[in-house]
Amino acid sequence: MKRILAILVEDRPGVLTRVSGLFSRRGYNIQNIAVGRTVEPGVSRMTVTLDADRVTVEQIVKQLNKLVNILKVSDLTEEPSVGRELMLLKVKAEPEKRSGIQQMVSTFRAKIIDVSPDSMIVEVTGDETKLQAFMLVMQEFGIKEIAATGNIALLRGARTTRETKGG
């Protein structure tokens, strides 16, 4: 089962290496990882997506909590949360195909963020299913390049990751 972990860490050199190293040493595969700042200075947030059962994730959380610089680990999988991914796609855009691209961009509520004589860069956000569907549609135009963030997530409502009961 796909699990989503939110990990609050001190913003220090080597923390990402220690976290990813723990997963690697234990034989756990990270599907994706996104790291960014938080509202609290000196604290970063890692969102890690992995394929594991609940027991395995409980072990991972215990092991992560033993690492230096880890402030809080929360399993958001069964919590009410909102998750999104960001993807940039560079697609071939000959003049005769641009209106078709624009129509698909509009249908998926994406944005064209760059136009050049032979290509367009499109930004699309959503869940994994939406991004996969958009990629499939854009393949008919010719995808030249893709960059994606992986999943990021926040708890719904007033609670914050620091206040979750798990971890």
CA 8, CA 10: separation in Å to the nearest integer?
7
Q: What is the pLDDT of residue 160?
A: 80
Alpha-carbon gap, residue 14 to 11, rounded angstroms: 9
SS3 assignment, position 127: coil
Q: Domain 82-152 falls in which CATH fold?
A: Alpha-Beta Plaits (3.30.70)
Q: Is 96 exposed, middle or buried (CB count within 10 Å of its CB: 0-12, 13-18, 19+)?
A: exposed
- Torsion of Cα atoms, 154 then 157 then 162 then 167, to 10°: -80
- What per-residue confidence (pLDDT) applies to 26? 85
Local mean pLDDT, 10-residue blocks, the chain (167 residues): 94 93 89 92 94 90 92 92 95 94 97 96 96 97 95 87 63
Give the pLDDT confidence score for residue 164 in this predicted structure: 62
Cα separation, 124 vs 108, in Å, equals: 8
Which homologous superfamily is 2-79 in?
Answer: ACT domain (3.30.70.260)
For the beta carbon of residue 37, count every other beta carbon within 10 angstroms. Answer: 11
What are the sequence ranges of the domains in the chain?
2-79, 82-152
